[in-house]
Structure formats: C-alpha cells, structure tokens
C-alpha cells in the first residue's frame, strides 16, 4: 500500500517557506498539510492565508487545510478559493458538521474530519458517508512537539474496520515517528502528517527522509 507523506508546514522554516515547499515537492511529498488555528477552538494560532498562498504558489501538489477553528462552515469558500484541495473540520467545532461537509464537496473539494484523541469513532460514524478522509489526531491539537498518545491506536484499528464500508482514507497527525509510520501502515493507515518527529529539523535531506519513510 502506497504511503502518503504529508509534511506539516507549520514545522517548516517560515523565512524560506517557498523554498521549503519546492524542496519537499521535489523530494516526493504527496500532500501539503496546513494548520489553521483561531486561538479559541485550540489554544494557539497557526498558519495564515498568506502562508497558504505562498505554499500554493510553489507546488501543484494537493493542499490539505486543517481547520482547527470555531464555526469552520463560515470559511469553506475562503479556503477553497485560496486553492485547498482537501479541507478537514473538527465535528466538535461545528453546529452542523454534515452541512459543512456537504458544502466542501459541492465546491468539488475533498472532505475530511479530524478526530481528537478523546473522540470515539462511534460519535462520528454518521458523518463517514460524507468524507473522503479521516485524520486521527495522535496528540491533542494545537501544539507541535507533543508525545504520541498510544491509546489512540485502538481507535485507528476500529476505523480501519469501518473504512471498507464507507470508502474513506485514514491519516494520522501528531508526533509520528518513522517507527510509527511502519507500524500504523500495517494497521491500515494510508497517510502520515509529519513534523519534527520524522521530517523537519533533521540532518538528512528531505529526499532521503521521504524515500526512507515511503519504504519503511
């Protein structure tokens, strides 16, 4: 099964974001992951629309916009217009998540839901027919540099059983090491949002790291 390598661009060098994007693209990155935070739904602020515009300018690869914000349905047209190919929402942050997911799909974009560590698959099962991707948060959202939460592994296994029925793809996001990439790939995970645990701030080139991750 092909692994989707999804650099978390919040971990990139901001003073050379365009160059970072081009290097990752050339190295074989599959999807560029962009965290948008509002300081309310999560206690931090993430990337901005200018950052997203810079990344979009420097790659034709898909952009995954992860909306860690309250009322994401109010901003779907904005991010679709900025060039998002895939838009993730957190069901807990939206009063009408089904309507928001339908809006994403009506704009010819891929839809996704991000599942927090404390959210069970059973509580989001009704939304699964509306999504192309489910991203399992393996840390609490809002900050980089956290430790992987091992108890989410059981949730990943349960979602892997459901994906054959609903035809979505599973991504994981948060403190994912190369060892976890190999382990979770065997469990049915198809894509990996990667930050400093596996991709950024390393001595090796992006090309070498991504090649190793795809073959681990």
CA distance 3 to 169: 11
Is 132 noted as a catalytic residue in this protein? Answer: no
- From the number of C-beta atoms within 10 Å of its C-beta (0-12, 13-18, 19+), residue 215 rates as exposed
CA distance 167 to 160: 10
DSSP string, the chain: -PPEEEEBGGGS-GGGHHHHHHHHHHHT---EEEEEEBSSSSSSB---HHHHHHHHHT--S-EEEEEESSSGGGGHHHHHHTT-SEEEE-GGG-S-HHHHHHHHHHTT-EEEEEE-TT--HHHHGGGGGG-SEEEEESS-TT-SSPPP-GGGHHHHHHHHHHHHHH--EEEEESS--HHHHHHHHHTT--EEEE-TTTTSS-SS-HHHHHHHHHH-
Q: Which residue has the tokens 């390393």?
A: 202
Is 51 noted as a catalytic residue in this protein? Answer: no
Q: Pick the catalytic residue: 25, 30, 94, 173?
A: 173
Q: Pick the catalytic residue: 25, 30, 35, 51?
A: 35
Active site residues: 35, 173
């Amino acid at each position: 099964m092909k692994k989707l390598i999804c650099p978390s661009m919040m971990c990139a060098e901001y003073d050379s974001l365009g160059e970072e994007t081009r290097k990752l693209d050339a190295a074989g990155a599959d999807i560029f992951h962009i965290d948008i935070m509002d300081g309310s739904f999560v206690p931090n602020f993430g990337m901005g629309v200018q950052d997203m515009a810079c990344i979009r300018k420097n790659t034709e690869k898909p952009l995954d916009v992860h909306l860690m914000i309250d009322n994401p349905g109010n901003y779907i047209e904005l991010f679709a217009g900025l060039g998002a190919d895939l838009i993730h929402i957190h069901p807990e942050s939206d009063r009408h998540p089904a309507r928001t997911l339908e809006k994403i799909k009506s704009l010819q974009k891929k839809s996704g839901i991000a599942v927090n560590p404390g959210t069970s698959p059973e509580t989001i099962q009704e939304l699964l027919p509306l999504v192309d991707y489910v991203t399992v948060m393996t840390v609490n959202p809002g900050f980089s540099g956290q430790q992987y939460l091992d108890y989410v592994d059981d949730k990943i296994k349960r979602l892997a059983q459901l994906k054959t029925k609903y035809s979505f793809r599973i991504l994981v996001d948060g403190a994912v090491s190369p060892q976890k990439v190999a382990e979770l790939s065997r469990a049915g995970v198809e894509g990996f949002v990667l930050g400093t645990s596996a991709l950024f701030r390393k001595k090796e080139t992006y090309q070498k790291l991504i090649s190793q991750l795809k073959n681990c």
